[in-house]
Structures are given as C-alpha cells and as structure tokens.
Amino acid sequence: MVSRTIASWASPPPLASLSLFAAETDFHEAGELKLFVNESQLAFLDDMMWEQGVLEARQMAGAFQMLRSNDLVWSRLIHDYLMGEREKMTDLMAWNADATRMPYRMHSQYLRDFFLDNVLAHGRYRAKGRPVALTDIRVPIFAVGTVRDHVAPWRSVHKIHLLTDTEATFLLTSGGHNAGIVSEPGHPGRTYQVLTKASDAHYLDPDRWLATAPRRDGSWWPEWAKWLDARSGEPAAPPAMGGRKHRPICAAPGTYVLMT
C-alpha cells in the first residue's frame, strides 16, 4: 500500500507530532518488492513511463498481485474462472481495486532513490537542494507496522528507531499491509503490541522488542487516538478554500480519475 503520514500541527508550525503507517525509512530490507528493483528493471520502467507520462494503475496493481500470487492470482483463477465461485465483494476489496496512476517523475524517483540507492537512510536524499536528515526530527513519532506486511515488512519499519533520536512509539498490529491499518474498533480477532522508546533509551532490536512489548486485544486506533490527544493542541479551523483565485476547474471527482 501506499505509505500514509498524518501529523497534528502546533500554532504556529512546526509539527507537534508525526505518525507513520507501514512506512519504511530504510529500504535495505524492503521485502519482496526488491525483486523488481534493479538497474535493468528501472530503465525499462523509465522508458515505458516516459512514453505514457504515468505508470498505469493496472501496471501498478499487477506488481502487487505478483507479490501475493497465491492469494491474488492463482486462487482467484481457480475459484473465479475454473469453478465459477466468485468471492463476495467487501469494502476493503473495493477500495483496493480503486487503483491510482503514478506520475512518471514521482515513481521513478521513489524507486531509484529509495528502493535502489536507499539515500534517505544514508542522509543523501535532497529536498529543495538540502539533504534530509531523519535525526533532525525532534517531535514524537508514532510508527505502525503490520505483522504480515508484504510491502513494508515490519522489521524494516521498525528501523525508525535507528534513524531518529526522538521519542518513538512503535505499534505492531495483526493483519497485512492494508487490513492491518484499516482495523476499525469492533473488528473481531484484532490484536496489537505497543511500546514507547524515550529519546535517551537504549535500542531494542525487533526480536527483543517483540518479546518485550505488551500485547493487547482489539483495534489499535483508540491507542493512536489517545496518543494524539496527549500531544495535540486545540483544533484549528481549516484554511479558507476557493475564492476568485482558486475557482473549481470542474465538478468532483474531476476528470483524472475517469481516464482509462
């Protein structure tokens, strides 16, 4: 899945906290996606995306289906095509099928800089000409990993502890890349583990963390809401939208999502 970053703002900025959902910062152990990332593959993708301007949604979806071919390719061929037994559509399946095109420059930079060269972890990723150092983060971090994540393996996500010097709360929840994050209260069978590391505390490797962090039943969402509440100020009014300078181009949802 694509990774999500949510933060609560102080007034005035900077950020008061930072939340990361299944988000890798060190791509050395990025899982099975690394099988598709080398110079030859990226050159092929660059040529294809240059002609199209984007990576088509079906091409992106196909890559993720190959990572879980038993679940997303072969089992569906057997049940849907050979046996004629279609699975009932669920909310999560419908959401997952709503794929998004990836702009050429964004996707090429992401694969080359992060997956191939791992520049963020090495302090060589640049934004507006300046290197980005994760050790400059001074706000508390809430990082979520999922036990069966095939896109962002949780031990890789756990490396946020090694790359930052601030307070870090790491939470490991049951489920995979999508279902583990979309784990609403009341969903049966959900569990999670959570532990906060102070900025001056000793590092716990993933195996020791797994043996140390307390396990709790239920959705992790209330845990995150409680964490945010303790670190957030008063709600701020949203900025004004529209006006003469920013008139709508067309009616929602726009034309981009309707392109084939």
Q: What is the pLDDT of residue 167?
A: 95
User: How do residues 28-65 score in pLDDT, each as one tens digit?
Assistant: 888 777 777 788 878 878 887 888 888 777 766 655 55
Q: What is the pLDDT of residue 33?
A: 74
List phi, psi (to 5°) of 102.
Answer: -110, 125
Q: Is the bond preceding 12 in cis, omega lying within 30 degrees of 0?
A: yes
pLDDT at 259 over 70: no
pLDDT band at 7 (very low <50, low <70, confident <90, very high): very low
Q: Per residue in 129-150, is it b (16+ CB within 10 Å) or e — as a string?
A: eeeeebeebebbbbbbbbbebe
- pTM listed for this prediction: 0.76
Among 6, 1, 26, residue whose Cα is nearest residue 18: 6
Q: Name the most confidently modeled range: 72-81, 97-106, 133-142.
A: 133-142
Report helix, strand and coil shares of the chain as percent, to nearest 5. Answer: 40, 15, 45
* CA separation for the pair 170, 177 (Å, rounded): 16
Q: What is the pLDDT of residue 243?
A: 66
Starting from the edge strand earliest in sequence, which strands make up the sheet with 168-173, in order?
4-6, 18-21, 141-146, 168-173, 191-197, 215-217
For the segment 106-131, the average pLDDT, to the nearest whole number, is 89
Tokens at 30, concatenated: 């990025």
Residues 6+ apart with CB under 8 A from 11: 233, 236
User: How do residues 133-176 score in pLDDT, each as one tens digit?
Assistant: 999 999 999 999 999 998 899 999 999 999 999 999 999 999 98
Q: What is the pLDDT of residue 10?
A: 35
pLDDT at 4 over 70: no
CA 104 to the chain's CA centroid: 19
pLDDT at 77 over 70: no
For the segment 195-209, the average pLDDT, to the nearest whole number, is 94
Q: What is the pLDDT of residue 40?
A: 82
Q: Is 4 helix (H, G, I), strand (E, B) or coil?
A: strand
The vertex-48 CA angle with 43 and 52, nearest 5°, equals: 145
pLDDT at 79 over 70: no
Least confident of 115-124, 143-152, 205-214, 250-259: 250-259
H/E segment holding residue 161: helix 160-163
